[in-house]
Structure 1
Amino acid sequence: MERPRVLIVGGGFAGVECARGLERGLPAREAEITLVTPHNYSLYLPLLPQVAAGVLTPQSIAPSLRRMLHRTRIVPGGVVGIDTADKVCLVRLIDNEVVSIRYDRLVLTPGSVTRTFDIPGLTEHARGMKTLAEAAYVRDHVISQLDIAAACSNEEERAARLQFVVVGGGYAGTETVAYLQRLTGAAARRYPRLDPSLIKWHLIDIAPKLMPELGDRLGAKAMELLKKRGTEISLGVSVSEVTEDTVRFTDGRLLPCRTLIWTAGVTASPLIGTLGAETVRGRLAVSPDLTVPGFPEVLACGDAAAVPDLSKEDGDAICAPTAQHAQRQGKQAARNVIAALRGQQLTPYEHKDLGLVVDLGGIDAVSKPLGYELAGLPAQAVARSYHLMALHTGVARFRTVANWLINATAGDDFVRTGFLSRQPATLRDFERTDVYLSPEDVRKQMAEGKAG
């Protein structure tokens, strides 16, 4: 008999945990497992700011999928359309060839993309921090601004190149500004022609508080640490316009600036909008057992799915799009796929929150493990222990610890790799959100024989 085909869309936290769970729980004879992902690694997103700052190498937080998955077929590409009636996905491979893959069980974990708004110049001039390539590019870009400023004879241009803006007061934005401010502060000592006081970092957010999930005390502590380092924080403010060399804020300020890093939240992958299924706040509505209503052979989890949060008394509460939830939901999806294939009862996703950790570099951190509020070195110990626990492989953990030790003892050489040096590499370049097809387009392409 032909084995049932399980297709997983997306190689993020949820997708990889689902594939690993299926490999552990299903003998090879029971199912054929396929994972569609454009990358051949599993990216640990929470440590991206440390890659941008040069504290960690990219390999430390991007362990190879082929080291973790041993009998899963890995297809290098992205699903651009799904026909649930015929149970087929159209996949655009990394060389742009379009192929079709059929399935019996589908697990949707396409993740999220950077959330943007209709702000003039944003997608053309802002940089993101959502992918490994973006983190590597941001590092090159920031160091290049220091190099150019040090060689520049025009004082106005020098000052503009040393102004850096990060938009987004959540965990990603706060850690990004914390680590990059440390990077430029340390680098300034190697640039004798630069006045360190000219290097200005700005963190802005439309919300009235920084990281409100942490609570008032820890949020205030994080603000105090950042301000002590010289970061200017503006809350209740956003961006109204971006040009190549200026950023205008909604409070009227116009800042001469060549660097805008956008970390103002995420939204579900555009693939979700092509299904014609019910959504909740832009995410695919799913039942507590992760199945999609009306499509019993389809499960969804991670950032793209609105998974009911059964730990909350509010019956409409959904799980936040965090790595912690995505990893656990991926494991639950694997268990439910196995149960479905064996004709057993599916079980709901339930969790106990482990808390929150925010690494601000050095010995500075704020953490809230299991509801306990910590700051300073104890919080940093908790944060880094959690990250090591969450990394998928022993090799990744070893590389991460080694990088931390090397950076703490030897520092950084602030080398530019020349990555995309002749391209702007903005949000528009890194996140392809215009390639998705509707179910009708999928059927049309199949009928025309354009997908092999």
Structure 2
Amino acid sequence: MTTSARILIVGGGYVGMYVALRLQRKLRRDEARITVVNVDSYMTYQPFLPEAAAGSVEARHVVVSLRRVLNKCAILNGWVVGVNPVARTVDLCPHEGPGRTLAYDLLVFAPGSISRTLPIPGLAERGIGFKSVEEAIHLRDHVLGQFDLAESTTDRTVRARALTFVFVGAGYAGVEAMAELEDMARDVCRYYPTVDPGDMRWFLIEATDRILPEVGPEMGRWTVAQLRRRGIDVRLGTRLNSAVEGHIVLDDGTEFDADTLVWTAGVKPSPLVHASGLPLDGKSRVRATAELAVEGFPNVFTAGDCAAVPDLTKPGEMCAPNAQNAVRQARKLADNLVATLRGGKLSPYRHAYAGSVATLGLHKGVAHIYGRKLRGLPAWFMHRTYHLSRVPTFNKKMRVLTDWTFALFFRREIISLGAVTRPREEFEIAVRTDSTFASTR
């Protein structure tokens, strides 16, 4: 390897950012040139998206600027549309302008995952995902906007649709997002005189017979009981058949109208894996060795949601695609890259599952950590403590902590800024109005 190796990192999520962070700390400037390619110029700390949606944490505090923390790396924004592992090149399509080809000596392939959807009529038109900070902000504004509508309309049908909220998928994203938003909605009812908490209808739809499988069957059943006690309609073993024009049809025969449909029914590897030229398994994940190198390509490394990494603690199984593994795999991957550059020996990734924590709203949670089961306030405190310790950079830790501290003394904001998704609308109206007046003179 030359003294100035070209290391190219595809993806700026957990794996990409943490690999780059570790490399810029461990490598000398003359050892390698590190380039990170990502669609956005920031990394999102997804475990805090439910709190951002509920207004407990400022949305900007759950994202980390790649350019700020990776000050020794080159950051390029755009879409990677192809990888040629034989020629050692990557094709990049910037947000605007002509595409370009990037050459590399070592490649970290970590494009992550996207929402796993199904061909359900109406889903594409009505559904809202929950993987990005943009979706979290939009969902918060949308829910608050539904309360504004319910308070203002005299049409009972419109009001009922506005106050009906459907979440499909009862993994972490679905349960935490719904629980936090329901908690927020119940809190903001005090500002809407004609809206009573009992007017709201919340549905959690899950195709399997359990929720939050990561916390175990017992804690999953306890969570279902707690959600139902709050008036949430939890439907297990139930599928969404249709959502055309907001008319929800479930396979158990239930039908109703709803203006809010949140889809959190799992994830799948980024479609880029199919244009990578890398070996894939039956689930479209890149096949990796225990050392996090791609099978057959020793100069290509992978980890995270898009990778099938052998779980050495459970022979025959693959590591779960979660943040806990992604962050730890990133550290091991970076160390193996350094070893490759310096002619050292690669070491395998091994991590025994530590457990899981989930928030169910303010002061409510569930956890299963190292065999210990926690619920209620202790689990909620554990959730906040653990994830605060994992938030990248001291700056973001302090900002999140400040948000929580202010929340002890002040009520959460209930302002809907839905118009931010249409920033030019008012200006366009002004232009059309001026044109109309001008034509009548």
Q: TM-score, normalised by structure 1?
A: 0.90
For the Cα contact (< 8 Å) 2:216–2:368, is it kept in 1? Answer: no
* 1:1-400 equivalences in 2 (<5 Å): 3-95=4-96, 97-280=98-281, 281-312=283-314, 315-400=315-400
- Residue identity opposite 2:348 in structure 1: P
For the Cα contact (< 8 Å) 1:40–1:76, is it kept in 2? Answer: yes
Cα deviations by residue, 1:112-131 (Å, 9 ceiling, x for unpaired): 00000111121221000001
Aligned residues: 421
Task: Provide the rounded CA distance (Å) in 1 between the counterparts of 2:108 and 2:404.
Answer: 36
| Deviation at residue 421 of structure 1 after TM alignment | 4.4
- Residue identity opposite 1:399 in structure 2: R
SS state of the match for residue 42, structure 1? strand
- Residue identity opposite 2:188 in structure 1: A
Identity of aligned residues (%): 38
| Deviation at residue 47 of structure 1 after TM alignment | 0.9
Q: Could you say which structure has the larger radius of gyration?
A: 2
| Deviation at residue 2 of structure 1 after TM alignment | 6.2
Task: Provide the rounded CA distance (Å) in 2 between the counterparts of 1:250 and 1:357.
Answer: 31
SS state of the match for residue 340, structure 1? helix
Task: Provide the rounded CA distance (Å) in 2 between the counterparts of 1:284 and 1:322.
Answer: 16
| Deviation at residue 278 of structure 1 after TM alignment | 2.8
For the Cα contact (< 8 Å) 1:49–1:135, is it kept in 2? Answer: yes
Cα deviations by residue, 1:121-172 (Å, 9 ceiling, x for unpaired): 2122100000111111111111111111111111011001100000111111
Q: 1:409 to 1:224 in 2, by over 3 A?
A: farther
Mark the runs of 5 or more structure 1 residues left unpaired by the alignment.
424-452
- Residue identity opposite 1:323 in structure 2: A
| Deviation at residue 98 of structure 1 after TM alignment | 1.6
| Deviation at residue 74 of structure 1 after TM alignment | 0.7
Q: 1:78 to 1:350 in 2, by over 3 A?
A: same
| Deviation at residue 306 of structure 1 after TM alignment | 0.7
Cα deviations by residue, 1:55-104 (Å, 9 ceiling, x for unpaired): 11112111222332120111112211111121111112223542211101
Larger displacement relative to structure 2 (177-186 or 223-232): 223-232
- Residue identity opposite 2:122 in structure 1: G
- Residue identity opposite 1:141 in structure 2: H
SS state of the match for residue 63, structure 1? strand
| Deviation at residue 419 of structure 1 after TM alignment | 4.7
Larger displacement relative to structure 2 (26-35 or 206-215): 206-215
Q: TM-score, normalised by structure 2?
A: 0.92
Q: 1:246 to 1:96 in 2, by over 3 A?
A: farther
Task: Provide the rounded CA distance (Å) in 2 between the counterparts of 1:419 and 1:265.
Answer: 29
**RMSD across aligned positions (CA):** 1.5
SS state of the match for residue 264, structure 1? coil
SS state of the match for residue 141, structure 1? helix
Question: 2:434 maps to which residue?
Answer: none
| Deviation at residue 216 of structure 1 after TM alignment | 2.1
SS state of the match for residue 29, structure 1? coil
Larger displacement relative to structure 2 (303-312 or 378-387): 378-387
- Residue identity opposite 1:258 in structure 2: D
| Deviation at residue 420 of structure 1 after TM alignment | 5.3
Task: Provide the rounded CA distance (Å) in 1 between the counterparts of 2:238 and 2:206.
Answer: 6
Question: 1:407 maps to which residue?
Answer: 407
SS state of the match for residue 72, structure 2? coil
For the Cα contact (< 8 Å) 2:83–2:277, is it kept in 1? Answer: no
Q: 1:141 to 1:85 in 2, by over 3 A?
A: same
Question: 1:417 maps to which residue?
Answer: 417
Q: 1:298 to 1:49 in 2, by over 3 A?
A: same
For the Cα contact (< 8 Å) 1:140–1:419, is it kept in 2? Answer: no
Mark the runs of 5 or more structure 2 residues left unpaired by the alignment.
424-441
Cα deviations by residue, 1:165-191 (Å, 9 ceiling, x for unpaired): 001111111101100101111111101
Cα deviations by residue, 1:377-409 (Å, 9 ceiling, x for unpaired): 221221111101110111111111111222243
SS state of the match for residue 339, structure 1? helix
Task: Provide the rounded CA distance (Å) in 1 between the counterparts of 2:220 and 2:275.
Answer: 38
| Deviation at residue 212 of structure 1 after TM alignment | 2.0
SS state of the match for residue 350, structure 2? coil
Task: Provide the rounded CA distance (Å) in 2 between the counterparts of 1:109 and 1:409.
Answer: 41
For the Cα contact (< 8 Å) 2:278–2:286, is it kept in 1? Answer: yes
For the Cα contact (< 8 Å) 1:137–1:419, is it kept in 2? Answer: no
Task: Provide the rounded CA distance (Å) in 2 between the counterparts of 1:209 and 1:264.
Answer: 13
SS state of the match for residue 245, structure 2? coil
Task: Provide the rounded CA distance (Å) in 1 between the counterparts of 2:357 and 2:197.
Answer: 30
